[in-house]
Amino acid sequence: MARIRADKMRALLKVYFISGSTNTAETELANVLAQAIAGGVTLFQFREKGRGACSGAGKTALGKKLQAVCQKANVPFIVNDDVALALELDADGVHIGQEDGSAAEVRRKIGDRILGVSTHNVAEAKQAIADGADYLGVGPVFATSTKADTRAVCGPEFIARLREEGIHLPIVAIGGIHAKNAVEVVAGKADGLSVITAISNAADPKAAAQQLSQVWK
């Protein structure tokens, strides 16, 4: 296996759904994911975080269930933060934040699997690239109440600024994105839209994913 090419990575980032049992009821999550994929989700991240999140065998079982939904539809399955679980499940990749340890160390552990790193400024972006990231997560581009400890809102134009500073790795924007403001993110030079609640809280997850993928057309 070789590292993913940038053009393939950019295509996968277009509509990137992130979720766990604290965003959608655990019993509903596989169903929501299947609907979201039917609506055009290109990549999925299992992010089991926050109060009441599953751990241990329960987390592994939920991860396996969601991975099976992804595999059926040929959508890559990324695990947030938990390298051991990603290796146990033979996931397609890992996403880490700045507080989740060294990206270089994660790269060594996961081989050629996809590595995403959340970054918030040029220095973090350059370090993530040097450490072997395949894509950068940048946010919050808009206000969000889904994650408590986010940095200040950077706005979608911040991604264009990173480009001007010579950061050419694929970038996915995150934070408060929904169908109505997604067009601003696309105009701001992001390669992809990553969302939690725009899909996990939608009355119709398939339609929500369709609306987000429509923004690229």
Give the span between the Cα atoms of 200 and 47, in whole angstroms: 12
- Between residues 34 and 196, which has the closer beta carbon with respect to ligand 3NM? 196
The one-character DSSP state at 121 is S
Q: Which of 10, 107, 113, 118 is catalytic?
A: 118
- Between residues 3 and 178, which has the closer beta carbon with respect to ligand 3NM? 178
Q: Minimal distance in Å, beta carbon 69 to ligand 3NM?
A: 20
**Ligand-binding site membership of 42 (annotated):** no
Q: Which of 64, 147, 161, 163 is catalytic?
A: 147
**Ligand-binding site membership of 60 (annotated):** no
Which SS3 state, helix, strand or coil, does residue 177 take? coil
Q: Specify the residue for token string 């899909």.
A: 199
Q: Minimal distance in Å, beta carbon 212 to ligand 3NM?
A: 11
The one-character DSSP state at 3 is P
Query: Catalytic residue at 109?
Result: no
Query: Catalytic residue at 118?
Result: yes
The one-character DSSP state at 4 is P
Within 13 Å, how many C-alpha atoms sit on residue 69's CB side?
23
**Ligand-binding site membership of 118 (annotated):** yes
**Ligand-binding site membership of 22 (annotated):** no
Q: Which of 201, 212, 204, 199 is nearest to 17 (CA)?
A: 199
Q: Minimal distance in Å, beta carbon 116 to ligand 3NM?
A: 11
Which SS3 state, helix, strand or coil, does residue 12 take? helix
Q: Minimal distance in Å, beta carbon 209 to ligand 3NM?
A: 13
Is residue 178 packed enough to be buried (19+ CB in 10 Å), middle (13-18) or exposed (0-12)? middle
Q: Which stretches of the chain bind ligand 3NM, using CB under 6 A?
A: 118, 137, 139-140, 144, 146-147, 150, 174-177, 195-198
Q: Which residues are catalytic?
A: 47, 118, 147
Binding residues: 45-49, 80-81, 100, 118, 144-147, 176, 196-197
